[in-house]
Every structure is written in structure tokens, then in C-alpha cells.
Structure 1
Amino acid sequence: MTPGALAVVVPAHNEEARVTACLRSLRKAAARAAPLPVTVVVVADACTDATAALAARAGAHVVETRGRNVGAARAAGVEHALAGPAAGPDVWLAMTDADTTVPEAWLTHQVAWAREGYDAVLGTIRLDPGTAGPPLVARHDADYFLSRRLAGTLRTWEHPHVHGANLGVSAEAYLRVGGFAPLPTGEDHDLAARLAATGHRIARTDEHPVHTAARLRGRAPGGLADLLATLHPESPAVSPAGHDT
């Protein structure tokens, strides 16, 4: 497909310390994607801090939910975007998280994959060096990330990861498979699995990694924070298999 518009959905639960940096990075990515229009929707899910106010001040559309459920929050953000500011059959949906910053080429790379006929793009993450000490970054990269790297270019590496913080999908494919399920964790894996099972073309690329916070206590059970806790230098070594989130 050739996207005619882009919508970025960002679920957030009490992210007042990080949401401004996330939205600043998205503004730069949106400017790089011009003249394509870009709509940013922040879903403030059960927030008790200033997340919603900061997101609105930064120019994002804000949807407030109370379910404390990331799958439902992502779905609500997509529904809001497609019902109004990003309505149309040729919308590309990009997903990230409020504790994450994206590179300037994040959206343009996804658009390039879409124009090549891909229905979805699964990207990779790096730990934000500002939130993770060198030992944790090194252990994450060596034990979990780079150890799975196959020979080839960054663009063609068919990595095994699925991250809601770095995911893109055409609105048509998203709606065809039923969208995000209201899961408290693993909603990204669930969507990717349904896209693959129904024959949609999925690109897996390390071309545009995002930087995400290195938390040891996360917002969603079974997510990245649980993986990082097993990799923490003071924690026993535990196999990270199955924690690609």
C-alpha cells in the first residue's frame, strides 16, 4: 500500500516523567515524514499523574481510559484515530510506548516497507542509556539481543522479536484480523500471530530501533521489565526466552 496518512498510538500509565521526551521524538519523526499527515494519540490509561495534561500540551490527541489494560488502551487509541483525525482506507498505524523515544527516520522507514507491499513491520529496541547502567545494557545485548542476530544487513535481519514499542501495521490489515485484544500483556504478540496466520506480509527489521526505558518494575506483567530483572547483574541468570515484548 501507499500510505496517505499516519497515526501513532502511544499507551501511557503514569508516564509524566517520560511522555514529553517521547512526544518530542515523535514530532521529529513526523516532520521527517512530511508531507504525509501524522496524528499522534496518547491513551492515558488509569493515570493519576500529569500524563494526560503533558500530552495535550505537546499537541497530542488524548484519550483517557480506566481499564489498566495495555491491549485495550492500544485498541482505544486506534479506534479514536480511525474515527476522526486519521480516517480513511490508506492509514498506516505506528505503535510505540510512552517510555520510549523513536529515531527521526522511524516513520519514513515504516512507510518504505508499506510501499513495498508489507502489511506490518516489527522493529527492535535498545535500552535507553539514560535509564540503564552499562552492565545491564551489555548483558541485555549479549545474552538476549545480539546473540540472536543472524548474518545479513540490518534491513533484512529476520529477528524473532515482537515489541509493542516498535510496531507498524496498515489499518486495513489491523481491522481485518480484529485489532488488539484486551490483554494486560502480550497484545503485540497476539496481533502479530494473527497477522501471520492470515497470510499478511510482515517485515522484521533492525533498521529503526527505538530506545526504551530500562525498568526492573514494569507497567505490564511478563513484559520487558520482567526480562530485565532476570538480566540484572545482581539477579540470577535466567533464560529470557519468551519475554519478547
Structure 2
Amino acid sequence: MIGVAVPAHDEEASLGACLAALLLAARNPVLGGEAVAVLVVLDACGDGSRAVVRRSQPSFAAAGVALDCIEVDERRVGAARAAGARRLLALGARWLAFTDADTRVSPQWLAAQLALDADVVCGSVAVDDWSPHAERADALREHFACNYQDRDGHRHIHGANMGVSAAAYLAAGGFEAVPCHEDVLLVRALERTGARFAWSAQPRVFTSARTDARARGGFGDTLLRVLDETQSEQLIPVGA
């Protein structure tokens, strides 16, 4: 079984689109009918995120894809991802895929991860809507295009686009229960175990250019720091 974990903290506005995209990826015929379980980890949610999951369950069930949610009160994305991984491993997942609630994966996302035949897949991210940054959108889009390596062989690390075999995940000790950079810490631990990596742009995702960043130091927060730096003509790289 393939397990997909999606941490969410007050993501009612974006979670529906995230789940709709994951359903398409789970039904990709290249997967050969292998079971897929999608688990949303609701972390201290005070909005309607849980209701979004419940409304999506009938369409998932009709397609033969499992969708469920668990609730935690951590306010730490590392702890939420770790909780999702534990549940999916208990259900028998051989492969763990991770994305975010403000991200839309491509229909080929899971198939592309598995086709790379690696222990760990680190994917890149793309942004298709810069409008939340209003009059500064053009400057941010240009900076991203010049500094971000959306290609095979990149070295970006994103929890919004990552896959790892169950065996490799367990050997590395899993995600640490930290507020941010849990993805970087896991990759470093996986490197120490000798896991086989694929740094690839093949598993495609589109993520949010949100202005209300959830995690300090995460992708959204990095974009805000880039804007601050570009205003003072000090450009910094985007992404880990």
C-alpha cells in the first residue's frame, strides 16, 4: 500500500483542492491498482478542515481510495508528519509520500515517485499563482525563476514534495517533532543511512505563494523574506 500524509493547520480554504488532486494521483493507472491511503493530520485546527475531509470521503470511497484524518494538538509540522507516517506504517504502507494542504500534486505524482526506483525522492515545487503578493508579484516571480532550480539534479528539500520507502524511513528514525525544517533533518538522517536518492523534478506539484505563512522558515516564510531582501537589493536563494 502507498500512504500519503498531509499535515494541516487551519487549511479549510485550500484543503479541498489538495485532496481532489491527490485523488487523481491515487487513481493513476500506472500504479496498477495498488491501494492508496490518504491521511490528513489535523494539527490544532480551529476551522472547517475536518469537514472538508468528511465531504471528500464519498468521492474517495467511490474511487476505491482510502481517505481519513487524525487530530493532534502539536502546532509543529514535524510532529504532524511523524504522526501521519506512524499511522500509515501501522496500516501497512510500503511507500510514504508527503505533501502539504496548500499544495496540488499532479496526476502523475505518485507514479513518478515510484518510477524513479530510489529509497528517497526529493521533488521540486512550482508556483502558478503569485497574485497573493499583489504589486510585488512580478519581482518575486522573476527572483524565483532566476534562483530556483526546478530540474532534475536540484538539491531543494520540500516536505510538500517528498517520498520515501517505509524501510528507509524507519532506518533513519523518521521525522523529528520540530516546528520547521523537519524535512531537511529527515533527509540528512537518510543520507547518513546510505539511502539511494533521486533529486527530481518529475513528480510535479504546485504550491501556494501564500502571505500567511504557517511555519517560520518554511517555503511561504522564505518567500516573504525574499521580498524583504529584494527591497533592500540583497537577493537570497529560495528554498532549502
Pair 1:141 & 2:145 matched: yes
Matches within 5 A, 1:12-27: 12-27=8-23
**Pairing partner for 1:10 from 6, 12, 18:** 6
One-letter amino acid of the structure 1 residue matched with residue 174 of structure 2 = G
Return the offset for 1:207: 1.3
CA contact (8 A) 2:108 2:204 kept: no
Q: In 2, Cα distance between the equivalents of 1:192 and 1:239? A: 26
Bigger share in helix: 2
Q: CA deviation at 1:57?
A: 2.2
CA distance in 2, matches of 1:107, 1:73: 21
Q: Tell me, yes or no, if the aligned pair for 2:171 and 2:193 is still in contact at 8 Å.
A: no
TM-score (norm. length: structure 2): 0.87
1:231 maps to: 226
* Contact 1:124–1:163, Cα closer than 8 Å, also in 2: yes
Structure 2 Cα separation of the partners of residues 111 and 68 of structure 1:
31
In structure 2, distance between residues paired with 1:101 and 1:41: 15
| 1:58-95 Cα distance to aligned partner (Å, 9 max, x none) | 122101001101000001011111212xx15xx11000
Aligned equivalents of 2:162, 2:54: Cα separation in 1: 23
Residue type matched to 1:182 in 2?
A
Match of 1:119 in 2: 119
CA distance 1:212–1:237, shift in 2 (3 Å): farther
Contact 2:180-2:215 within 8 A present in 1 as well: yes
Counterpart CA distance in 1 for 2:39 and 2:69 is 6
Instruction: Tell me, in whole angstroms, the C-alpha distance in 2 between the residues paired with 1:240 and 1:21.
Output: 31
Q: 2:90 aligns with which of 79, 83, 95?
A: 83
Alignment of 1:240 onto 2:219: no
Do the aligned partners of 1:22 and 1:101 also contact (CA within 8 Å) in 2?
Answer: yes
Gaps of 5+ in 2: 58-66
Q: Distance in 2 between matches of 1:45 and 1:235?
A: 34
Shift, 1:224, TM fit: 1.1
Superposed CA offset, 1:122-177 (max 9, x none): 000011326556512232122x214xx7xxxx4xx210100000000001110111
The equivalences for 1:174-185 within 5 A come to: 174-185=169-180
Aligned equivalent of 1:45: 43
Contact between 1:231 and 1:237, CA under 8 Å: does it hold in 2? no
Q: Distance between the aligned counterparts of 1:238 and 1:55, measured in 2?
A: 42
TM-score (norm 1): 0.85
2:148 partner SS:
helix
Opposite residue 90 of structure 2, the aligned amino acid is A
Residue 128 of structure 1 corresponds to: 128
Is residue 2:119 matched to residue 1:106? no
Q: Which runs of 5+ in 1 are unaligned?
A: none
Identity of aligned residues (%): 40
